[in-house]
A and B are shown apart, each in its own frame.
Chain A
Amino acid sequence: MAIFVDQNTKVIVQGLTGGQGKYHGLRNKAYGTQIVAGVTPGKGGTDVEGIPVYNNVVEAVKATGATASFVTVPPKAASAAILEAAAAGITFIVCITEGIPAQDEARTYNTLIRDFPKVRLLGPNCPGIISPGKCNIGITAGEIAQLPTAKGPNVGIVSRSGTLTYQALYELKQLGIGVSTCVGIGGDPVPGTSFIDCLREFQADPETHAIIMIGEIGGSAEEEAAEFIKANVTKPMSAYIAGVTAPAGKKMGHAGAIVSGGKGTAQGKMDALRDAGVKVGNNPTEAGQLMATIVAGLS
């Protein structure tokens, strides 16, 4: 088991013929992911190192039976690509595109939940998802993920920050701790998948025995996750929040400060998580070590 994706997940790459799409699509395939097709308008009938390319997602899905899509197209085109995938029957969409306007993200997210409620969007602006040994969609270097063991204990990772996701995988690998699934939800204003969505799945996944969560300053996603953990998560957790010493909020003015109601500081988030029974480290390494202690207690 793993969450969201596994060895049976068939994946198309929207933007496979672009530089990033080709590089990461082929890397994902080399990792063992079932990359079954690419989609680039106007390039249907060609192929990228043996992967067939279609003009649109409908054709690609019809030909391959794919259920997941890896969207790696420029910001201007990303929202349309996501909605095209959803309309064509794709149910799991990973969008790594960075720099999508917030207004587009908000509209796309709300269109998805209204018109395509069964579709899950991961990202935008996220590193993707890896179920080690089974499926890797996105830009994570697969070799830094420790394979899970049949007996466990295995750890699930959920992170808001791209590079800190790799850091978490790396810390666990150093400690020899297996990973069930690692999900990078991305740090954009309107992420398609939240901490809570992932925590719910990890809690239900028999292959996941403990969970690491990596957050950062801003917004209130971590505080909401802490409330969810208190009520619903029985698996042990460690966490790290980036940004204790970060330069104070450049972003919002007055209105933003009220929306978050004093939430958003690293300290506030750490306190909320500790209050929910999560062991919180002061840096990624410490969060990894705390997890090692948890795992030692489980095995």
Chain B
Amino acid sequence: MDLFEYQGKQYFARYDIPVSKGDVAVTVDQAIAAADAAGYPVVVKAQVQVGGRGKAGGIKLANNADEVRTHAGNILGMDIKGHVVKRVWVENASDIAEEYYASFTLDRGAKKHLLMLSREGGVEIEEVAEKNPAAILMLHIDPVDGLSAAAAKKAAVDAKIPDAAQQGVADILVKLYRCFVEGDCDLAEINPLILKPTGEVHALDAKVSLDENAEFRHPEWAEFQATVELDARELLAREKGLQYIGLDGTVGIIANGAGLAMSTLDVVNQVGGSAANFLDIGGGANADVMAGALEVINSDKNVKSIFINIFGGITRGDEVAKGIVEALGRVDLRAPIVIRLDGTNATEGRDILKNAGIPESKLTSKSTMLEAAEAAVALAK
């Protein structure tokens, strides 16, 4: 789950990482109140999860309430690369002496945590990596050991952070690492990490991505969930606890397991069709889950046929079949189903479908993935 900048800063503040005084606003009046509280001059920043906000006019400096009124009025509702701005973050403006970059992620290849630190911040880090890779310090951290204050200080020195900022950067690295680990982040990034003329080091931006598997131990994440932007289909899917990503095609896809779901998309594409979605009903899906999945697919007006591709492991074929029968009783499906069912209890599942008296115009069964894909694509044409 990716956080907005303001949420990232609020998350950072929980771990004592210094951020600018500010508040989030959804109206112009709220923006002025936030600016009055933060102290002028302020920066009004569009809250969208897309790069290039500044160039699009989504970040403005304001010296007084009138200027906040003008800028917040312009920015709220602005369309930045297809993202409509619903909120602005208003914070006390900072004087900047230097800009650095710091982030923590998990390096899947090395199976260790990875610190990236650079004295060239404020620009896209990909750009630095391409033009001047030597300017980025990469340090692997054993998750069992963690990051000590001494190791953080050495990293700051090795990254050639200027003397005046070394201790401040090292302190923030230790705090950011704690945020990354205890806060269960997939990514915790500060760009730019600034040195003020007064000597303090400070997070001027926040990019945080949270590991949703850890939600059970973070009740405080509930407020972040509320602002995730989803289309109507995705909202319905989330209510039903399904892994769903909306796409533009005409064949609705239901599969168990991310790999099989991806593979199903590939095969539909190879036989000349296009998928309307990615939907993984996961392991151990029962009748309720299948019925829910069909309701979500049915809510998509573009869907002309539905391809259910199940290979049972934890998921049992009989449960899947029961779910389909139940869903057909509950929802009036607009599109016909093509199913391919194999694996655990597949025979029982096929029998349930056969004996349910479903007309062939509504449901056909195919024995291979490829045949089923061809049939589903033909029905969608």
Query: CB within 8 Å of B: which residues of A?
Result: 20, 24, 75-76, 96, 98-104, 106-107, 109-111, 114, 127, 138-141, 144, 159-164, 166-167, 170, 187, 189-190, 214, 216-217, 219-221, 224, 240, 242-247, 250-260, 282-285
Contacts and interface: CB of A to CB of B under 8 A. Distances in A.
Contacts of B211: 101-103
B197 interface: no
Nearest to B128: A258
B216 A75 contact: yes
16 contacts: A101-B211, A102-B211, A103-B143, A106-B143, A127-B313, A140-B313, A161-B257, A163-B255, A216-B262, A219-B109, A221-B109, A245-B275, A251-B209, A254-B125, A259-B107, A283-B270
B343 A257 contact: no
B353 interface: no
Contact of B311 (A103, A170, A243, A282): A170
Interface residues of B, number: 65
Contacts of A109: 111
Contacts of B2: 253
A282 B104 CA distance: 36
Given A102-B213, A251-B186, A283-B370, 10 more contacts: A103-B143, A139-B313, A141-B312, A161-B257, A164-B263, A166-B311, A166-B343, A255-B105, A255-B189, A258-B136
B266 interface: yes
Interface string B236-266: 0000000001010000000111111011011
A189 B106 contact: yes
Interface string B327-342: 0000000000000001
Interface of B: 2, 103-109, 111-114, 116, 124-126, 129, 136, 142-144, 181, 184, 186-187, 189, 191, 207, 209, 211, 213-214, 216-217, 245, 247, 255-260, 262-263, 265-270, 275, 278, 282-284, 311-314, 342-344, 368-370
B266 A243 contact: yes
A163 B245 CA distance: 19
B344 A141 contact: yes
B3 to A, nearest CB: 11
B260 A163 contact: yes
B263 A107 contact: no
Contact of A163 (B114, B187, B311): B311
Contact of A189 (B108, B209, B247): B108
A284 B373 CA distance: 13
A281 to B, nearest CB: 11
Contacts of B209: 251-253
